[in-house]
């Protein structure tokens, strides 16, 4: 039905004073334009993509100065969208990976009106990269997240904290200490204990590798020859390509490959250790299990069938927090946002929207 035809019908049905035809016509046009605007989906995106035109636009990028025991540094953030009720801060994993592998969210969050922030933690991506390993520490990193929250003006009415892998450690630790500032928490693919991670990888996943591969990997590990190209190739072909992202590495998504190519190895080694098969670094003795009941904000935990994290453990976490839900990706691995993408994203978005509607 054409807009002119609709307008004519509106005019004919209107009871208009004959003495004011011009004013009546203007009112009818105004009301009709409002009607069209409400029916146009694009009009609802105007607020989401709105910017402060009084300031120079930089694509949502904001450099945030943070204080550390070793001095002041800058970290990089980037906002996408504008929604005063829903603001999601994304914490990437690694440790030592940039935000880049989380770029898949760009294909899902904007059309749902979800405002979100990329954030390169200190030592990663576009942020400062100090060499002092003393800065690679869980408590200091939690304080960094709090400084970023303040700078981005996130609060208990709109702040959703998402953490994947190592980012999940930070998210849980942050929630225990600062949950008065949170509206909801999402912990994706991360155990609550370094010991439990080691037990699952060493006693379950490693034993599923071909016997010859197990033997060869052990030979390299006994010599601490973690940088040997053959060790790396075996690990990539038999572990990474199944339990990290369940597809051959030569067809891994470009954002993922880009992030891996830029990983801060000293950061990764200090926290994780030289191999994904074992935790040797600072995370090895980390454990938050006994403190999980302190988390009272709505919490979504995400596990996957082929994850390097035990999916049963992820479900258990959702049962320990006070208000938890669990999303199980039956076709996914550690990076289910890629290899079980549609199910993963639907689950995350549903959780966020349910909380926003007061259903959490």
> Active-site positions?
165, 307, 334
DSSP letter string, 16-59: --TT-HHHHHHHHHHHHHHHHHHH-HHHHHHHHT---TTS---T
DSSP secondary structure code for residue 55 in this structure: S
Provide the token pair at 103. 């770029």
DSSP bridge pairs for 80: 116
Distances from the Cα of 85 to the Cα of 120, 133, 158, 159, 300, angstroms = 23, 38, 5, 8, 18
Within 13 Å and on the Cβ side, how many CA atoms surround 100? 18
Distance, C-alpha 205 to centroid of its chain: 25
**Residue closest to 47 by CA, chosen among 95, 4, 83, 3:** 83
Distance, C-alpha 349 to centroid of its chain: 12
Provide the token pair at 216. 């060869």
Q: Are 173 and 143 in contact (CB under 8 A)?
A: no
Query: Rounded CA gap, 309 and 329, in Å?
Result: 12
**Residue closest to 241 by CA, chosen among 338, 344, 124:** 338
**Residue closest to 102 by CA, chosen among 338, 263, 346, 340:** 338
Q: What is the CA radius of gyration of the chain?
A: 25
Query: Rounded CA gap, 23 and 290, in Å?
Result: 70
φ/ψ of 143, rounded to 5, equals -65, -35
């Amino acid at each position: 039905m054409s807009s002119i035809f609709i307008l004519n019908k509106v005019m004919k049905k209107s009871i208009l004073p004959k003495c004011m035809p011009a004013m009546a016509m203007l009112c009818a046009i105004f009301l009709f334009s409002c009607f069209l605007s409400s029916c146009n989906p694009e009009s609802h995106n105007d607020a989401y993509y709105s910017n402060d035109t009084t300031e120079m636009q930089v694509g949502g990028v904001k450099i945030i100065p943070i204080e550390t025991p070793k001095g002041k540094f800058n970290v990089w953030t980037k906002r996408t969208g504008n929604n005063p009720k829903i603001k999601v801060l994304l914490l990437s994993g690694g440790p030592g990976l940039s935000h880049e592998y989380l770029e898949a969210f760009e294909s899902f969050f904007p059309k749902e009106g979800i405002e979100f922030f990329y954030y390169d933690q200190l030592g990663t991506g576009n942020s400062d990269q100090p060499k002092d390993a003393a800065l690679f520490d869980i408590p200091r990193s939690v304080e960094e997240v709090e400084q970023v929250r303040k700078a981005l003006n996130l609060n208990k009415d709109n702040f959703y904290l998402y953490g994947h892998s190592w980012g999940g450690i930070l998210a849980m630790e942050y929630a225990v200490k600062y949950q008065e500032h949170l509206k909801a928490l999402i912990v994706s693919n991360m155990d609550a204990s370094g010991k439990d991670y080691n037990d699952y990888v060493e006693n379950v996943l490693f034993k599923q590798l071909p016997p010859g591969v197990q033997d060869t990997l052990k030979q390299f590990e006994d010599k601490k020859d973690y940088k040997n190209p053959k060790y790396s190739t075996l690990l990539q072909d038999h572990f990474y390509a199944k339990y990290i992202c369940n597809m051959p590495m030569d067809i891994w998504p470009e954002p993922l490959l880009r992030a891996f190519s830029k990983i801060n190895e000293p950061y990764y080694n200090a926290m994780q250790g030289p191999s994904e098969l074992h935790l040797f670094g600072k995370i090895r003795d980390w454990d938050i299990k006994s403190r999980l009941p302190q988390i009272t904000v709505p919490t979504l935990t995400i596990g996957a069938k082929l994850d390097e994290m035990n999916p049963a453990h992820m479900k258990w976490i959702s049962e320990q927090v006070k208000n938890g839900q669990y999303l199980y990706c039956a076709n996914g691995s550690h990076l289910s946002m890629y290899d079980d993408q549609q199910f993963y994203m639907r689950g995350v978005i549903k959780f966020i929207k349910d909380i926003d509607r007061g259903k959490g």
